[in-house]
Structure 1
Amino acid sequence: MLTDDALDTLFRKARSHNGWLDQDVSENQINQIYELMKFGPTAANTCPARLTFVKSAEAKEKLKPHLDEGNIEKSMSAPVVAIISYDTEFYEKLDYLFPHTDAKSWYAGKPDKITAVGSMNATLQGAYFMMAARSVGLDCGPMGGFNAETLDEEFFPEGKAKSIFICGIGYGDAEKIFPRGPRLDFDKACEII
């Protein structure tokens, strides 16, 4: 069992941040996040998530026009904004990732299945990404307020990746978070049958 401090870091005291301290996130930290998150399970080890780390001022200016008004400041001030997307050709890597059977044939030529499996599993990987970021001492600010169509045209012009959500990472400014919202009690959200 993890310690209470670890559980607090990952869950109980973790918050979605809207503002950031002026502290850099290093490429080493970004690599650490990926090296942890990549081990989270996905269906048939599909690993469809692709991460684009928007860090430079130039890259942030490319991101800015695609953001909803309420997400501009918190994205521009974040040390890094990760675009979590899925590879629409993830099945091309299944000979390597899931070699015990012809898993590629489950998806090739089946666009609805590619979208369903790719987006669901990349979303799971996005959650693993946030847990990994918190594990290495960073805070997260996940966001859905952006124009996915224009963002994808800007960042993925070849059309192979489809964005799901974006997430600021860095050191959160505790002065800029909202009070924690309530959560449902077990009996309101769960049933043991």
Structure 2
Amino acid sequence: MTTTAQSAAELPLPAEVQDLLFREARTANSFSTEPVTDEQVRAIYDLVKWAPTSMNTQPLRALVIRSDEGRQRLLPHLMEGNRAKTATAPVTVILAADVDFHENIPQTFPHNPGVKDLFTEEARRVEFSRLNSLLQVGYFIIGVRAAGLAAGPMTGFDAAGVDREFFGGNNWRSLVVVNVGKPGEDPWFDRLPRLDFEQVVETV
């Protein structure tokens, strides 16, 4: 069986960077009082905006919550087990899919003229925006790790309630709520095993 060290050696990315982004990265369940600055949030976005999306449509949208008022509006919509850690996180980001993403596609789209015509039906836009936004969500989590911060992504919340509370003026649909910050006291659950290569990958 291939060891972690052997796998790491196969990649051009330095092993310590691989560890930062993947092997040593954990989902934080408590956070320190160290703030997350607007500059850090901008730097994260400026990195992850390069993630691929179908036809470069980029449907992901983000609402950054750092005020007590915003946090109190969010907490009732979370599952009980997610409330305490969210109440103490310096920043919480609601990641959402913009169903009206097509409005930002240029009229003359490189390589895909007339692409807007593909998205006249809202049902198709909902499915398309969700798929591509979830792809971007994964990159967002890696971007948080690249900033030297911990991400605590959560799907245990009332999405319809969050949408009513925060997105009544647009057509955003919440997907994942992510706490962001430096890990606090006793932040990690026990690490669970991952499936091995042989359990997941087939070749034809």
TM-score tier after normalising by the smaller chain length: over 0.9
Give the secondary-structure state (helix, strand or coil) at the position aligned to 2:152.
strand
Gaps of 5+ in 2: 1-11
Equivalent of residue 130 in structure 1, options 130, 136, 141: 141
* Letter paired with 1:149: A
The aligned counterpart of 1:104 is 116
1:9-42 C-alpha deviation (Å, 9 max, x unpaired): 0000100111111110000000001000100000
- What is the deviation of 1:96? 6.5
Equivalent of residue 149 in structure 1, options 135, 155, 160: 160
Cα 1:116–1:150 shift into 2, 3 Å: same
User: Any runs of at least 4 consecutive aligned residues in structure 1 with deviations exceeding 3 A, and if so which?
Assistant: 96-100
Separation in 2, partners of 1:143, 1:155: 17
The aligned counterpart of 1:60 is 71
Separation in 1, partners of 2:22, 2:178: 17
Aligned-CA RMSD value: 1.3
**In the alignment, does 2:74 pair up with 1:79?**
no
Separation in 2, partners of 1:111, 1:183: 37
| Structure-1-length-normalised TM-score | 0.96
| Structure-2-length-normalised TM-score | 0.91
Separation in 2, partners of 1:97, 1:151: 35
Equivalent of residue 171 in structure 1, options 175, 182, 202: 182
* Letter paired with 2:41: I
Percent identity reads: 36
Give the secondary-structure state (helix, strand or coil) at the position aligned to 2:186.
helix
Give the secondary-structure state (helix, strand or coil) at the position aligned to 1:176.
coil
Structure with larger Rg: 2
Gaps of 5+ in 1: none
The aligned counterpart of 1:10 is 21
Give the secondary-structure state (helix, strand or coil) at the position aligned to 1:91.
helix
Q: Is the 8 A contact 1:53 1:80 kept in 2?
A: yes
Q: How many residues align?
A: 192
* Letter paired with 2:39: N
**In the alignment, does 2:40 pair up with 1:24?**
no
Give the secondary-structure state (helix, strand or coil) at the position aligned to 1:178.
coil
Separation in 2, partners of 1:164, 1:80: 17
